[in-house]
């Protein structure tokens, strides 16, 4: 099976700070990859490089056939294939949830408005928010806003979904409702890469766990590595409860 996402010997620095130091891993179609590690280990930077929100210094990244590391990569085409959801919901406060969701399909893909509204209802149904289609973001809880942000990404019908610490600003109850949505997407075969500190969730849904340490892929394997780590660093990380 050919990988949908490939990172090969990826390096990235911010000034004198080396953030990614030869990162290599790949993700197959339909696979859920969870990236874990302490703050500053490079996990969120790796995710942002996959969507070309950050440029790498050297190495190769290929996503859905797009050579992301190529300076001339078609970013518009890349971001049709790749959806990303952040810790902050980034919903437009002056637009309804429907308008937030239909904006990109209409402007980027030329989807007719009526078709886009039907699409909005469909993706909101996927995240359990169909009845909130005419609400504004401020009328929703944090968990609902995050689910709406996931629906907005799904409306572009991406081939890969990226999640960057999407539950870190939520309390446990709201975290649970967002993780249930992601779990449903995983069950539906969506290819996903997720940066998270939710170890219980990682054990439950991850096909592959990538443990990053000091900007490197320190240990990788199935979710079992969280119960049977082979490196002292992962053993300490899991044991700390982070």
Asked if residue 187 belongs to a domain, the reply is yes
The DSSP letter of residue 188 is T
Spatial distance between the Cα atoms of 10 and 23, rounded to a whole number of angstroms: 5
pLDDT reported for residue 236: 93
pLDDT reported for residue 36: 96
Asked if residue 120 belongs to a domain, the reply is no
Asked if residue 227 belongs to a domain, the reply is yes
CATH of the domain at 226: 3.40.50.300
Question: What is the model's pTM?
Answer: 0.92
pLDDT reported for residue 90: 85
Asked if residue 112 belongs to a domain, the reply is no
Instruction: Return phi, psi of residue 136, to 5°.
Output: -100, 155
pLDDT reported for residue 103: 94
For each successive 10 residues of the chain (242 residues), what is the average pLDDT? 91 96 96 94 95 95 95 92 88 95 92 94 94 96 92 93 89 87 91 93 93 96 94 90 52
Q: Which residues contact 150 (CB under 8 A, 6 or more apart)?
A: 85, 127, 166, 178, 181, 182, 185
pLDDT in tens, 100-145: 999 999 988 899 999 999 999 999 999 999 999 999 999 999 999 9
pLDDT reported for residue 172: 85
Strand partners, 83: 161
Kindly give the interhelix angle for 172-187 and 113-126, rounded to the nearest 10 degrees: 110
Asked if residue 147 belongs to a domain, the reply is no
pLDDT reported for residue 1: 65
Asked if residue 191 belongs to a domain, the reply is yes
Domain span at residue 209 reads 3-91+159-239
The DSSP letter of residue 169 is T
pLDDT reported for residue 241: 56
Asked if residue 123 belongs to a domain, the reply is no
Domain tally for the chain? Answer: 1
Asked if residue 127 belongs to a domain, the reply is no
């Amino acid at each position: 099976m050919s990988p949908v996402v490939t990172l090969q010997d990826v390096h990235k620095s911010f000034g004198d700070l080396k953030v990614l130091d030869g990162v290599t891993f790949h993700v197959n179609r339909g696979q859920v990859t969870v990236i874990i590690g302490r703050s500053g280990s490079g996990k969120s930077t790796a995710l942002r490089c996959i969507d070309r929100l950050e440029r790498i210094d050297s190495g190769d990244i290929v996503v859905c056939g797009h050579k992301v590391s190529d300076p001339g990569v078609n970013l518009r085409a890349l971001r049709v294939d790749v959806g990303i959801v952040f810790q902050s919901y980034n919903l437009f406060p002056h637009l309804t949830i429907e308008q937030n969701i239909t904006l990109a399909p209409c402007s980027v893909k030329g989807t007719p408005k009526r078709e886009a509204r039907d699409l909005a209802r469909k993706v909101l149904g996927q995240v359990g928010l169909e009845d909130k289609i005419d609400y504004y973001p401020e009328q929703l809880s944090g968990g609902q806003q995050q689910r709406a942000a996931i629906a907005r990404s799904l409306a572009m019908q991406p081939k890969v979904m990226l999640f960057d610490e999407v539950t870190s600003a939520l309390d446990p109850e709201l975290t649970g409702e967002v993780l249930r949505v992601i779990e449903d997407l995983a069950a539906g075969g969506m290819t996903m890469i997720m940066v998270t500190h939710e170890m219980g969730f990682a054990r439950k849904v991850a096909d592959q766990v990538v443990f990053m340490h000091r900007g490197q892929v320190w240990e990788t394997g199935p979710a079992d590595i969280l119960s049977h780590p082979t490196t002292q660093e992962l053993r300490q990380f899991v044991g700390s409860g982070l």
